[in-house]
Amino acid sequence: MMTKYPKKLVCFHRLDDYSGSPLVLSNLIKHWVQNDRQVELYTATKGREGFLSEISGVTYYHVPYKKFSIKLFTLFYFLFSQLQLFFRLFKYRNEQVIFYVNTLVPFAAAIVGKLMKKKVIYHIHEVSISPIILNNFLKKIAYKTASDAIFVSNYVKEQFNFNDANTFIVYNALSKDFLDIVKGYEPAKKKDLFQILMICSLKDFKGIWEFIELSKLLVEFRFELVVNASLENINHTFSKKSLPNNLHIYPATKNVHEFYQRADLLLNLSHTDKWIETFGLTVLEAMHYGKPAIVPTIGGITELIDDNVNGYKIDVKNLNELKDKILFIAENQEHYDSLSLEALKKSKSFNFKTMVETVDKILDSLNV
pLDDT in tens, 221-257: 999 999 999 999 999 999 889 999 999 999 999 899 9
pLDDT at 67: 86
Confidence of residue 3 (pLDDT cuts 50, 70, 90): low
311 and 201 both lie in a single domain: yes
Mean pLDDT of the chain: 94
Q: Kindly report, residue by residue over 95-124, the tens digit of the pLDDT.
A: 999 999 999 999 999 999 999 999 999 999
160 and 247 both lie in a single domain: no
pLDDT at 184: 84
DSSP 207: T
Which three-class secondary structure string do you get for 217-273? Answer: HCCCCEEEEEECCCHHHHHHHHCCCCCCCCEEEECCCCCCHHHHHHCCEEECCCCCC
Domain assignment of residue 109, yes or no:
yes
Residue 137: beta bridge partners? none
Domain assignment of residue 168, yes or no:
yes
Question: CATH number for the domain including 332?
Answer: 3.40.50.2000
Q: Kindly report, residue by residue over 270-287, the tens digit of the pLDDT.
A: 999 999 999 999 999 999
Higher pLDDT, 239 or 347: 347
Provide the CA 132 distance to its chain's centre, in angstroms: 21
110 and 127 both lie in a single domain: yes
Q: Kindly report, residue by residue over 257-271, the tens digit of the pLDDT.
A: 999 999 999 999 999
Rounded to an integer, the average pLDDT of 293-317 is 97
153 and 201 both lie in a single domain: no
Domain assignment of residue 2, yes or no:
no
Sheet with 247-250, strands from edge to edge, namely 247-250, 222-227, 195-200, 265-267, 293-295, 311-313
Domain assignment of residue 150, yes or no:
yes
289 and 337 both lie in a single domain: yes
166 and 285 both lie in a single domain: no
- State yes or no: pLDDT of 292 exceeds 90: yes
Residue 103 and residue 149: Cα distance in Å, rounded?
10
Domain assignment of residue 1, yes or no:
no
- State yes or no: pLDDT of 144 exceeds 80: yes
Residue 340 belongs to domain spanning: 178-347
pLDDT at 165: 83
pLDDT at 128: 83
Of 42-56, 64-78, 344-358, the one with minimum mean pLDDT is 42-56
Confidence of residue 185 (pLDDT cuts 50, 70, 90): confident
55 and 165 both lie in a single domain: yes
Residue 244 and residue 267: Cα distance in Å, rounded?
18
Confidence of residue 1 (pLDDT cuts 50, 70, 90): very low
- State yes or no: pLDDT of 192 exceeds 90: no
Residue 148 and residue 122: Cα distance in Å, rounded?
6
168 and 210 both lie in a single domain: no
Domain assignment of residue 3, yes or no:
no
Percentage, residues of the chain above pLDDT 70:
96
Rounded to an integer, the average pLDDT of 25-34 is 96
37 and 101 both lie in a single domain: yes
356 and 339 both lie in a single domain: no
Domain assignment of residue 119, yes or no:
yes
pLDDT at 5: 59
- State yes or no: pLDDT of 48 exceeds 80: no
How many structural domains is the chain composed of?
A: 2
359 and 240 both lie in a single domain: no
Report CA dihedral (248, 254, 255, 257) to the nearest 10 degrees. 80
356 and 331 both lie in a single domain: no
Q: Kindly report, residue by residue over 59-95, the tens digit of the pLDDT.
A: 999 999 988 989 899 999 999 999 999 999 999 999 9
- State yes or no: pLDDT of 338 exceeds 60: yes
Rounded to an integer, the average pLDDT of 340-345 is 97
